[in-house]
Amino acid sequence: MQHARLFLSPPHMSGREQLYIAEAFESNYIAPLGPMVEQFEQSIRDLTLIPNALALSSATAAIHLALRVLGVGAGDVVLASSFTFIGSIAPILYQNATPVFIDSDTQSWNIDPAILEKAIVSSPKKPKALILTHLYGQCADLNNIISICNTHGIALIEDAAESLGATYNGKQSGTFGDFGVYSFNGNKILTTSGGGMLVSPHKELIDKARFYSTQARDDAPYYEHTDYGYNYRMSNILAAIGVAQMEVLAERITERRQIFSWYREALKDISEITFMPELSETCGNRWLTTLIFEHSDPNNIRLALESENIESRPLWKPMHLQPLFKNAISFQNGTSEKLFEKGLCLPSGTQMSQEDVLRVCTTLKKALK
Ligand SMILES: *Cc1c(COP(=O)(O)O)cnc(C)c1O
């Protein structure tokens, strides 16, 4: 008999979502905005201790608004992680700006500060912003990266889409920059089925982002526009799901970290395996357990897992290797290319039991032989 499919990262409801959705229905706040949106934003303010939060339709929309509000426009240079997901990068193109891609280091798998510095000093035009991804829920080398951004006067947007709840020196990821961005897409550690959140210590920037997120309506009884915006706000119904999800964030992080520990324990004798590292200053959320194989082809392992009804996935393909960016400038050191070539994401859904994890490991070990 075929086992039930093990997905990479399926949604995991807390059980209270429908209660809050029912509340939203009873209040008839079905249309965008309403009390649940405010509660959801409040839960993010409580977590991050950042006083300004804006619930949006996606993290991609949040990054777009951050760039727009920072005044990034045609021809501006925006630095970004090469080893990331396209949602982090596409907003640069929406603004007709030019992305410049920075490779990863081996200690964090995120942006390499030395490469970042090199990219800045060799850029003919001063970069306006850096979009820094905390990949797979693990924090980048924030201390060094922030000090470089400060030295050169470059705005920092933290793409914490995958790292909600991860901390660096005890402080939440997404709270170090001018903007932080979280995602509530279907496969993230928490989900509203789709959604995002933008936070910033700068109240005036969030106010401006809110203005752009609701079609840039001027203050008038009729529809008056001196600028254009977007329809990027989150609906009150989805925010109700978010309120319930935020109540279990701490549990979900504990569960993801437990799943990671089970994998590490079960695979510790396989010397060719290296797991994604964690900087000593940090506690990541281990959104996905990811690893690299020194010798074996991860594609064979992925297919062996698939034949046992287990979903796994290659690591993100670096942006500098994407056909879309074949002419883009990038600063490379070979790290993200090796990670893409050698890496695999394992199923990490928080409803997995230790037995499920061991089933993945048994299949994986068989494939290595
Ligand atoms: C998921 C993700 C995004 C985009 O989030 P959406 O809410 O789906 O728009 C951006 N960056 C990274 C690193 C992501 O993983």
**Are 226 and 266 within one domain?**
no
Q: How confident is the model at residue 34 (pLDDT cuts 50, 70, 90)?
A: confident
* CA proximity to 12, closest of 351, 287, 355, 357: 351
Do 212 and 270 fall into the same domain?
no
In a domain, 232, yes or no: yes
Which residues lie across from 343 on neighbouring strands? 292
CA 147 to ligand 1 centroid distance, Å = 25
Q: Say whether both 37 and 184 belong to one domain.
A: yes
pLDDT band for 20, please (50, 70, 90 cuts): very high
Q: Which atom of ligand 1 is nearest to the CA of 84?
A: 13
**The residue type at 177:** G
* Residue 38 neighbours by CB under 8 Å, 6+ apart: none
Instruction: Measure the CA–CA gap between 342 and 357, rounded to whole angstroms.
Output: 21
Count CB-CB contacts under 10 A for residue 351. Answer: 12
Determine which residue's CA is closest to atom 11 belonging to ligand 1. 88
Residue 1 forms part of a structural domain: no
How big is the chain, counted in residues? Answer: 369
Q: Which CA distances in Å does 197 have to 59, 122, 179, 327?
A: 6, 33, 10, 32
User: Cα of 44 to ligand 1 centre, how many Å?
Assistant: 17
Q: Ligand 1 site: residues with CB under 6 angstroms?
A: 58-60, 84-85, 87-88, 133, 159, 161-162, 183, 185, 196
Tally of domains in the chain: 2
Question: 190, 212, 246 — which closes off a domain?
Answer: 246
CA gyration radius for the chain? 21
185 C-alpha vs ligand 1 centroid, how far in Å? 7
Q: Cα of 184 to ligand 1 centre, how many Å?
A: 8
| Same structural domain, 77 and 169 | yes
pLDDT in tens, 233-289: 999 999 999 999 999 999 999 999 999 999 999 999 999 999 999 999 999 999 999
1 falls in which pLDDT band (50, 70, 90)? low
CA 110 to ligand 1 center in whole angstroms: 15
For the CA of 61, the nearest atom of ligand 1: 9
Residue 350 lies in a domain: yes
Helices and strands (DSSP H and E) totals, the chain: 12, 14
> Is the domain of 242 the same as that of 258?
no
Choose the residue to mutate in 85, 189, 190 for probing ligand 1, maximizing ligand atoms within 8 Å of C-beta. 85
Residue 3 belongs to a domain: no
Indicate whether 356 and 221 sit together in one domain.
Answer: no
CATH code at position 96: 3.40.640.10
- Residue 32 pLDDT > 90: no
Domain extent at residue 107: 17-246
Supply the DSSP symbol for 308: T
Q: How confident is the model at residue 344 (pLDDT cuts 50, 70, 90)?
A: very high
Kindly give, in sequence order, each residue whose CB lies less than 8 Å from that of residue 219, ignoring residues fewer than 6 positions away.
none
pLDDT per residue over 89-143, tens digit each? 999 999 999 999 999 999 999 999 999 999 999 998 999 999 999 999 999 999 9
Percent of the chain scored above 90 by pLDDT? Answer: 96
Which of 246, 272, 293 represents a domain boundary (last residue)?
Answer: 246
The residue among 188, 216, 246 that closes a domain is 246
